[in-house]
Amino acid sequence: MSTEGNSQPEALTISSFLESRAPGSKGIFKNAFAGSNAAELPALRLLCSSEECDGTRVFRAEQGIMGAGGDSNWVRLVLAYRCRSCEKEQKLFFLLSQPNYVGNHNPIEIIKVAEWPVFGSWVPSRLLKIAGPDRDMFLKGKRAEGQGLGIGAFGYYRRVVERQKGRIIEQIKKVATRTGAQQEVLDLLDAARKETQFSKAIDLVKDAIPDQLRLKGHNPLTLLHDALSRGLHNESDEDCLQIAHDIRIMLTELVNRIDQALADQSELDSALSRLVNSSTSS
């Protein structure tokens, strides 16, 4: 299981290795762990999917390194972490390490075998809401993306976007309504929401997207349609993986902007109502 020549993994910190490397990754470490007790293990910044957090939070080890046997060449290790913010979300790492992993001064190799919850499975709750009944399908796409399965990830994301385009457009219409769009714009959004063909629906609303939702001036639905179309033309698995990643990023940013636009308008409405009420009562 050793590596040779230029194929050796680059040296990196154990923290970044645990935080960002997918299962199957290898790392070469000096001083991998200062000690085996929980207090001596490094804090990690990981994604927490609890309703309270729903984002990146600090996780701390809740117990020391658990050895699970092995031989003179490789030792099986388990690390257990818990979110310090909500105290609910747990993260488990399953590692294979060369011996002398505590306070080691000579380089050793460590392999990330697995982790739970599954690497790359976290998705913001607001994005899962837009996926609606296809929530599980979107999560399958995210897991496929995390495992480097480009065609699979692209296929799942494409089905979710095309099947839930009405839900997405309905949210866009809410922003348009709250920001005072003209009736003809709202009518176009309604027509697009009811249109069964995805490409026709996108064409209907090419000029009807509120400015607050545009991505550097671009219509996000047009960008999504273009990305979905590109993946249909015999791209490699690697190309599909990049397209799938781009689809998820664009969809995430669109949902974030929708939520922010509605929140801003709600806050403005509340402030305006208070000021009007205060003015009429004085």
Where exactly are the structural domains of the chain? 5-116, 125-273
- What is the end-to-end Cα distance of the chain in Å, rounded? 80
Give the mean pLDDT of 19-46.
89
pLDDT single digits (tens) 212-221: 999 888 999 9
- Residue 126 CA to residue 201 CA, distance in Å, equals 23
53-67 pLDDT per residue, tens: 878 899 999 988 988
Residue 167 has pLDDT above 60, yes or no: yes
Predicted structure pTM score: 0.62
- Per-residue pLDDT band at 231 (split at 50, 70, 90): low
Q: What interhelical angle do 237-281 and 135-146 show, nearest 10?
A: 130
Which of 70-74, 111-115, 157-161, 267-271 shows the lowest per-residue confidence on average (mean pLDDT)?
267-271
Of residues 143 and 188, the one with the higher pLDDT is 188
pLDDT at 74: 92
Q: What is the mean pLDDT of the chain?
A: 85
Report d(CA 61, CA 83) in Å as an integer: 9
- Write down the pLDDT at residue 17: 92
Q: Give the orientation angle of helix 237-281 with respect to helix 220-230, to 10 degrees.
A: 170
CA torsion sign for 159, 152, 131, 218 is negative
3-class state of residue 27 by DSSP: strand
- 281 pLDDT band, cuts 50/70/90, is low
- Alpha-carbon distance of 240 to 246, in angstroms, equals 10
Q: Is the model's pLDDT at 46 over the cut of 80?
A: yes
Question: What average pLDDT does the segment 170-193 reach?
Answer: 92
Average pLDDT for 152-163:
93
